[in-house]
Amino acid sequence: MKLFTRARIAAGVLVAVGLIASPVALNVANAAEPQPTVTGPVTGGDGQPRILSSSFDLADVGYEGNEYFVAGTATAYTSATPLVSDGKWKVTPVTETPDAAFQTRIVVYRPIAAKDFNGTVVVEWLNVSAGFDTAPDWGLTHRALIREGTAWVGVSAQSVGVQGGTSAVAGAVAGGLKAADPARYSSLVHPGDSYSYDMFTQAAQATLGTKKTDPLGGLKAKHVIAAGESQSASRLTTYINAVQPIKKVFDGFFVHSRFSGAANLSQAPLPDITPEIPALIRSDLGVPVMSLQTETDVVAYRVGSVRYQQKDSKNFRLWEVAATAHADAYTSSIGFSDTGNGDAEIALLDVANANGGPLNCALPINYGPHFAVASASLHALTDWVVAGVAPPRAPRIQVTTTDPVTIERDSIGIALGGIRTPLADAPTAVLRGDGNTTPGGGAGNFCGLFGTTKALDATQLKALYPTHAAYVAAFTKSANQAVKKGFMLKPEAKNFIAAAKASSVGE
């Protein structure tokens, strides 16, 4: 299956704007609850699932992909008490109005050979901030997922992805799936985002199949992890605090690049129910939660997570990554065709040719190692869920003030503290998570989420690395330390070291 990549010019924005309940709960949902109907694999229309994820053929890496429709009735939730900052919310299904009919879709990527499946399924809440469905967590971590034999499921949980909104970025088609490919998706129905949480639950349950349809193609899931990035992370935070204690569907959660709040539990046309800010992850969840934050997420003015940092605990880890951005060169272009052959790492070290990305941002966008640490963090979470091995605790990015946020930086401008990688400790450019703008302004300034890259000049490079060997030694030392600490996986470190050796730095 060739992965769908239309509207490639909008790729950067797709990602920008953006775990120990028993898995038996997924297999044998409460018989009193409505069970969704699963149909597929879906065909017709343009011939491929409408989702921006990757551009390589899944078969080339031993995977296959299919799309399924999931239909049923969904409930919304309400709360008689405020949704306070500690996340310990008590919600109940709405009874004043009847459940709403829905039909949405899921996209499933799975190993072709059953022997290659590791028993884990990652269910991603697809991101709709660009005006249509995108898969940022697949995009950032797909190399590790494929190496380890993890199945991935993308869920169209929100109305914009299905029914569409009023606009989409970078000239992409507005109107969601139904407008983008009417022949394929005309039957889809979304009753509104108040119902998205129950739809996400039912889609996860549907992943494991019915007597008639098996989206995993006979693979037997043992552990199911929910994932969401950016806006999806805000909705996942609400799901964790409100729905997981009731449904207990997921074995763990990957909450990626959120700011300080959580999404509404309910919204128009139902009553608005808005959580307090900050919205922390509840401490009594009972399943592991990994929160991964880029430098952008930490520093964002008034909504940055540094103002409300949550402490590590028995079931919670927070990783903050220096020199990274919410979206970057990997998520906007380099990562789409990346199968792990080392080309991506070479491109990321080619900072002399850094550019404004697909949105033509005012400054070169961030060329940092976001994808490598994201892969390591999801890997660590999986170990936590499967084997009970907690991830390492990570240092926080250092700040001097929090309102506004001011990050402490070294002599060339790279953030101090946080998770360190060779691109931060043996730099050839100043990589930051802030400081970019959209030319001519623009709604939301999406470029502000892409960070910046400022290549060091020859004098700076010579002062840091008098010889090429000195650069390679410093780079290799940092990469090996990142692997040893669990913040980078060996394949990514190996590729980065090879790219550093192939560079001309210090020559």
d(CA 424, CA 405): 20
Shared-domain flag, residues 106 and 206: yes
**Inter-residue contact 170 to 155 (CB < 8 Å):** no
Residue 316 lies in a domain: no
Residue 6 is predicted with a pLDDT of 37
Amino acid at 19: L
Q: Report how far Cα 142 is from the mean position of its chain's Cα atoms.
A: 11
Strand locations in 279-359 (E): 289-294, 316-321
Residue 401 lies in a domain: yes
What mean pLDDT do residues 202-225 have? 90
Residue 306 lies in a domain: no
pLDDT tens, residue by residue, 431-440: 999 999 987 6
Q: Is 260's pLDDT higher than 90?
A: no
Confidence of residue 170 (pLDDT cuts 50, 70, 90): low
Residue 102 is given by DSSP the state E
d(CA 324, CA 377): 14
Domain endpoint, select from 287, 315, 343: 287
Shared-domain flag, residues 275 and 362: no
Q: Is 29's pLDDT higher than 60?
A: no
Shared-domain flag, residues 94 and 150: yes
d(CA 457, CA 217): 53
Read off the tokens for 250: 């997921």
Residue 48 lies in a domain: yes
Shared-domain flag, residues 70 and 134: yes
Which residue did the predictor score with more confidence, 502 or 35?
A: 502
Residue 33 is predicted with a pLDDT of 59
Shared-domain flag, residues 132 and 275: yes
Shared-domain flag, residues 139 and 227: yes
Q: Is 9's pLDDT higher than 70?
A: no
Q: Is 20's pLDDT higher than 50?
A: no
Read off the tokens for 74: 């969904």
Specify the range with the lowest mean pLDDT, choosing from 36-45, 56-65, 169-178, 223-232: 169-178
Confidence of residue 21 (pLDDT cuts 50, 70, 90): very low
Read off the tokens for 150: 């993890």
Of the candidates 19, 87, 16, the residue with the CA atom closest to the CA atom of residue 308:
87
Amino acid at 468: H
Query: Token pair 């033509």 is at which residue?
Result: 360
Shared-domain flag, residues 341 and 280: no
Residue 270 is predicted with a pLDDT of 96
Shared-domain flag, residues 246 and 345: no
Confidence of residue 259 (pLDDT cuts 50, 70, 90): confident
Q: Is 313's pLDDT higher than 80?
A: yes
Of the candidates 168, 245, 260, the residue with the CA atom closest to the CA atom of residue 201:
245
Residue 299 is predicted with a pLDDT of 86
Shared-domain flag, residues 126 and 263: yes
Read off the tokens for 82: 């405020």
Of the candidates 139, 189, 183, 184, the residue with the CA atom closest to the CA atom of residue 164:
189
Strand-strand pairing, 223-229 and 289-294: unpaired
What mean pLDDT do residues 257-267 have? 94
Shared-domain flag, residues 262 and 349: no
Shared-domain flag, residues 228 and 81: yes
Residue 409 is given by DSSP the state B
Confidence of residue 23 (pLDDT cuts 50, 70, 90): very low
Q: Is 314's pLDDT higher than 50?
A: yes
pTM (whole model) above 0.75: yes
Amino acid at 361: C
Q: Give the number of other Cβ atoms within 10 Å of residue 166's Cβ.
A: 8
Strand-strand pairing, 405-407 and 399-402: antiparallel
Looking at the structure of the chain, the number of domains it has is 2
Percentage of the chain exceeding pLDDT 70: 90
Residue 26 is predicted with a pLDDT of 38
Residue 269 lies in a domain: yes
Q: Is 395's pLDDT higher than 80?
A: yes
Residue 296 lies in a domain: no
The pair phi, psi for residue 93, each rounded to 5°, is -65, 145
Shared-domain flag, residues 200 and 274: yes
Confidence of residue 13 (pLDDT cuts 50, 70, 90): very low
SS percent in the chain: helix, strand, coil, step 5: 35, 20, 50
**Inter-residue contact 52 to 490 (CB < 8 Å):** no
Q: Is 500's pLDDT higher than 70?
A: yes
Domain endpoint, select from 228, 262, 287: 287
pLDDT tens, residue by residue, 373-389: 999 999 999 999 999 99
Residue 77 lies in a domain: yes
Q: Is 307's pLDDT higher than 80?
A: no
Percentage of the chain exceeding pLDDT 90: 81
**∠ CA 13-291-87 to the nearest 5 degrees?**
110
Residue 319 lies in a domain: no
Where is 125: in which H helix or E strand? Answer: strand 120-125
pLDDT tens, residue by residue, 349-374: 999 999 999 999 999 999 999 999 99
Domain endpoint, select from 253, 270, 287: 287
Q: What average pLDDT does the structure give for the chain?
A: 90
Domain residues for the domain of 359 are: 334-507
Residue 439 is predicted with a pLDDT of 79
